[in-house]
């Protein structure tokens, strides 16, 4: 590890939709590799396909990466000396390089109409033979070209792929990959509107941004031989390539979808990073968990802090086979991260989510609840269910809920009235004092303590499951606790 390393990697998403788990894993591995090597992590937005452009994708990408703590050294909103970092701002560069290949005789303008290409495909389908462009325009005469130009036809630019031989490269994870050139099409580099295709833009940018390692998803593996030919055509050295295995869904049978999917019991699986944030996952838990989807340090260890991951991450430990994404394991890991947070930290993280849930909570009371609920949270959003009773004017419950087992309405009414009376004069209204008072009443109630406290719990929280009772009452405060007990007595009248 050296700070003078010239390792430069990039994450190069296309803004076609919300930022999802697969993209985040690729970004994370690039980030960890760059940090481990003391190199640079570049963010580049590949936005040349205007038909698939999604306006919310970029803000969603940037905020999600920041939330996860995958910070880029060069890219949008930061800049850098290899910019611009949006491909749509680099069109002139791609046009220039396409022309360079034409001048070298390694690319050519193609004037074939969409109709001709369609009928070509149709014919090929019928014959079941080789598919692809028939290279009709590869050897046009100057006269033919002038003719097409005079007709005002705007050409595309295609790569003149060698007709024979083979193309190989060494993938860092997959080993040597070889394809026969005759299987490769004369791919389009520049479209007729002057926009580059992905292939041209990615090669030009990886070269001109001095990228040393291309770490990306497996779905790009079949494109790489084309890129090898382009690097050759330009006379450029090719970066090292590593294609990461896909992520499988929890069943391990299919690919994890970028879109919404449902489990067998109809639950929606989260896929977008902003959903994990909104559902109360901690960024450090997702960061840790994602690192393990396709990488492992050893057979046992699962919990790694950011700095440890940076120190230990190594592409040689990336798995060659796909791994399944286990939501259960992520939830378990998240719960564990929540339990390890300091109380102030946890309260600070809960507050905005509670507010987003429509709960008008304040920091101090949430902080007071934290010791009572921290152990119980798997995700931060679980907290609302536990403590919302403290932030409403009135709680809503069925008075039958007050009647546990043998308890009659009349008996319950007497007991809750006694509680109200005892708590009303308690000073100070602290957890210890409340416990002493209520335990005293429980003993003389003729009920089991659990039954007695169960009725009090429903009276003050409206729920059978709530944070530990004495603490909850203390936080709720004397006035409201007493008022709720009296209200329970009033509700019981209907059952007498
Ligand atoms: N723009 C491509 C994508 O959206 C990037 C592929 C690559 O990393 O080369 O995934």
pLDDT in tens, 9-60: 999 999 999 999 999 999 999 999 999 999 999 999 999 998 999 999 999 9
**Per-residue confidence (pLDDT) for residue 261, from 0 to 100:** 63
Query: Is 201 near ligand 1, meaning CB less than 6 Å away?
Result: no
| CA neighbor of 110 nearest in space, from 78, 75, 149 | 149
CA of 126 to the centre of ligand 1 (A): 33
- Tell me the H-state helices in 171-326: 198-208, 224-234, 273-278, 283-291, 306-312
* Residue with the two structure tokens 């429509």: 358
Lowest-confidence pick of 64-78, 86-100, 309-323, 359-373: 309-323
Per-residue pLDDT tens over the stretch 385-432: 999 999 999 999 999 999 977 889 999 999 999 999 999 999 999 999
Is the model's pLDDT at 311 over the cut of 90? yes
258 among known catalytic residues: yes
| Cα–Cα dist 192/155, whole Å | 5
* Residue with the two structure tokens 């005789």: 105
CA of 108 to the centre of ligand 1 (A): 25
Q: Indicate which atom in ligand 1 lies nearest the CA of residue 206.
A: 9
What pTM did the predictor assign? 0.92
**Per-residue confidence (pLDDT) for residue 293, from 0 to 100:** 93
CA of 328 to the centre of ligand 1 (A): 29
Instruction: Please report which confidence band the pLDDT of residue 129 belongs to, taking 50, 70 and 90 as the band edges.
Output: low
| Cα–Cα dist 200/151, whole Å | 27
**Angle between helices 57-68 and 283-291 in degrees, nearest 10:** 90
**Per-residue confidence (pLDDT) for residue 175, from 0 to 100:** 96
**Per-residue confidence (pLDDT) for residue 5, from 0 to 100:** 62
Query: Is 12 near ligand 1, meaning CB less than 6 Å away?
Result: yes
Query: What tokens appear for 71 in the block?
Result: 């910070």
CA of 12 to the centre of ligand 1 (A): 5
**Per-residue confidence (pLDDT) for residue 291, from 0 to 100:** 96
| Cα–Cα dist 69/63, whole Å | 10
The preferred substitution site among 202, 204, 213, 247 for testing ligand 1, maximizing ligand atoms within 8 Å of CB, is: 202
DSSP character at residue 411:
H
The set of residues, in sequence order, having a beta carbon less than 8 Å from that of 373 and lying 6+ positions away, is: 383, 386, 387, 467
- Tell me the H-state helices in 128-256: 142-150, 198-208, 224-234
CA of 134 to the centre of ligand 1 (A): 28
pLDDT over 90 for what percent of the chain?
87
CA-nearest residue, atom 2 of ligand 1: 13
Per-residue pLDDT tens over the stretch 249-301: 888 888 887 666 666 666 778 999 999 999 999 999 999 999 999 999 988 89
**Per-residue confidence (pLDDT) for residue 365, from 0 to 100:** 96
CA-nearest residue, atom 10 of ligand 1: 13
Q: Indicate which atom in ligand 1 lies nearest the CA of residue 11.
A: 8
**Per-residue confidence (pLDDT) for residue 262, from 0 to 100:** 63
Is the model's pLDDT at 191 over the cut of 60? yes
Query: What tokens appear for 460 in the block?
Result: 């003050």
Catalytic position from the list 40, 226, 255, 258: 258
**Per-residue confidence (pLDDT) for residue 1, from 0 to 100:** 44
Mean pLDDT of 355-380: 97
Is the model's pLDDT at 4 over the cut of 60? no
Is the model's pLDDT at 330 over the cut of 80? yes
Mean pLDDT of 334-340: 98
CA-CA-CA-CA torsion sign (244, 250, 254, 259) = negative
Query: What tokens appear for 216 in the block?
Result: 């990306």
């Amino acid at each position: 590890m050296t700070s003078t390393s010239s390792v430069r990697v990039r994450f190069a998403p296309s803004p076609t939709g919300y930022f999802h788990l697969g993209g985040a894993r690729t970004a994370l591995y690039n980030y960890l590799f760059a940090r481990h090597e003391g190199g640079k992590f570049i963010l580049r937005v590949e936005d040349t396909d205007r038909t698939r452009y999604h306006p919310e994708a970029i803000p969603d990408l940037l905020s999600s990466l920041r939330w996860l703590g995958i910070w880029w050294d060069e890219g949008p909103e930061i800049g850098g000396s290899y910019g611009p970092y949006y491909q749509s701002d680099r069109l002139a560069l791609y046009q220039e390089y396409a022309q360079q290949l034409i001048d070298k005789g390694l690319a050519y303008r193609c004037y074939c109409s969409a109709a001709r290409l369609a009928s070509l495909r149709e014919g090929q389908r019928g014959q079941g033979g080789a598919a692809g462009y028939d290279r009709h325009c590869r050897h046009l005469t100057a006269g033919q070209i002038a003719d097409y130009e005079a007709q005002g036809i705007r050409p595309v630019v295609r790569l003149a792929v060698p007709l024979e031989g083979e193309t190989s490269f060494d993938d860092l994870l997959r080993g040597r990959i070889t394809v026969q050139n005759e299987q490769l099409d004369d791919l389009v580099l520049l479209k007729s509107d002057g926009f580059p295709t992905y292939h041209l833009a990615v090669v030009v940018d990886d070269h001109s941004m001095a990228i040393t390692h291309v770490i990306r998803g497996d779905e790009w593996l079949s494109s790489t031989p084309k890129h090898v030919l382009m690097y050759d055509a330009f006379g450029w050295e090719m970066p090292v390539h590593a294609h990461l295995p896909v992520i499988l869904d929890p069943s391990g049978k299919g690919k994890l979808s970028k879109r919404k999917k449902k489990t067998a019991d109809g639950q929606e699986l989260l896929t977008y990073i902003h959903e994990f944030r909104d559902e109360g996952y901690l960024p450090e838990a997702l960061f840790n968990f994602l690192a393990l989807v396709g990488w492992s340090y050893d057979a046992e260890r699962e919990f790694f802090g950011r700095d440890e991951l940076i120190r230990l991450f190594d592409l040689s430990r990336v798995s060659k086979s796909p791994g399944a994404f286990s939501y259960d394991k992520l939830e378990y890991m998240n719960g564990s991260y929540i339990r390890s947070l300091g109380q102030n930290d946890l309260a600070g993280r809960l507050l905005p989510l509670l507010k987003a849930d429509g709960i008008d909570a304040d920091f101090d009371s949430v902080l007071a609840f934290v010791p009572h609920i921290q152990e119980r949270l798997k995700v931060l959003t679980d907290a609302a269910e536990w403590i919302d009773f403290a932030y409403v004017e009135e709680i809503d419950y069925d008075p039958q809920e007050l009647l546990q087992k043998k308890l009659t309405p009349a008996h319950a009414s007497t007991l809750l009235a006694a509680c109200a009376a005892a708590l009303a004069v308690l000073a100070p209204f602290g957890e210890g004092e409340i416990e002493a008072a209520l335990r005293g009443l429980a003993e003389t109630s003729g009920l089991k303590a659990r039954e007695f406290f169960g009725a009090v719990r429903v009276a003050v929280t409206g729920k059978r499951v709530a944070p530990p009772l004495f603490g909850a009452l203390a936080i709720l405060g004397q006035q409201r606790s007493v008022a709720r007990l009296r209200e329970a007595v009033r509700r019981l009248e209907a059952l007498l």
